[in-house]
Structure 1
């Protein structure tokens, strides 16, 4: 009789541990999804700003057609990259380069630099880049926690059983996101 109680107690203890580990994995996976949604919102905001920025600069720098075409093409690739953090990170890094060049070209036009619409767009783009960085840090922290939980014992035994997988980090190279400071003054 005592042996039966011990087995029942042991079974309840094991079941409780399974439930706790499962719920912990679910919570961490939800944090990753939440983090990705935050990044996606900011990336879409940046993507929506780009055509307005291009249109504003176009009027002043009509001879920069290849740059405008490059921005539009890279924006399309970024939109098409979907929800895969690695593919999206690469596409967003590729988009950052021509956008930085676009802002640099704008620096060569004093009338454009003084244009309030351009200044507002430039400020919005800078704010969005900061928000992307914050969202990326949150997402990567959530991914780190999920990956650690999925790969740690005893959760790793259950993670595979219940379909929990590690996630990829979202990375945009910092150098790619930095908007260049360009001075076209002649010496």
Structure 2
């Protein structure tokens, strides 16, 4: 009788531990998904600003077609991208191209003085700051989730219930270097 109660007690403890680990892993996975949704919101906001910014620059610096075309193409690629890792690469390239686009204001004083362009630039800078925060939060959530699914003995529950690793949001190697801007006058 006593041995049966001990076995039942151990089984109850084991089931309780398994339920606690499972629930914690679900919370961490949901945190990763929520953090990704926050990045997606900021990327959508950035993508919505790009056409207006390109139109404002085109009005003053239409012959800078290479810069305008690069930004437009990268925006289209970013909007079409589904994979998180590849999206990080495309977004890093878009960020560099936007830096080049914003640098054109120095070569075109009328553009620099345009209030619409100035407001778009402020909105874009605000979006970039929010995006930077969202990326850091997402990568922290991915780190915590990865720790959770790799920790012994929690890994037994993670593997048993199909918890898979999430990808970090990473920049391309080229985007880690300082952006070089050349102005043609």
> Number of residues paired by the alignment?
184
Give per-residue Cα distances to partners, 1:89-110, cap 9 Å, x unaligned: 0010111122111111222111
C-alpha distance in 2, partners of 1:166/1:128?
28
1:106 — aligned with what? 105
Kindly indicate whether the alpha-carbon contact (under 8 Å) linking 2:149 and 2:163 is maintained by their aligned counterparts in 1.
yes
Kindly indicate whether the alpha-carbon contact (under 8 Å) linking 2:149 and 2:158 is maintained by their aligned counterparts in 1.
yes
Give the TM-score taking structure 2 as reference length. 0.92
Give the TM-score taking structure 1 as reference length. 0.91
Q: Does 1:116 align with 2:111?
A: no
Unaligned runs of 5+ in 1: none
Unaligned runs of 5+ in 2: none
Kindly indicate whether the alpha-carbon contact (under 8 Å) linking 2:100 and 2:181 is maintained by their aligned counterparts in 1.
no
Q: Does 1:87 align with 2:86?
A: yes
C-alpha distance in 2, partners of 1:118/1:177?
27
Q: CA distance change for structure 1 residues 174 and 106 in 2, over 3 Å: closer, same or farther? A: farther
- Residue 61 of structure 2 aligns to a residue in which SS? coil
Q: Does 1:54 align with 2:38?
A: no
1:8 — aligned with what? 8
Moved more, 127-136 or 98-107: 98-107
- Residue 171 of structure 2 aligns to a residue in which SS? coil
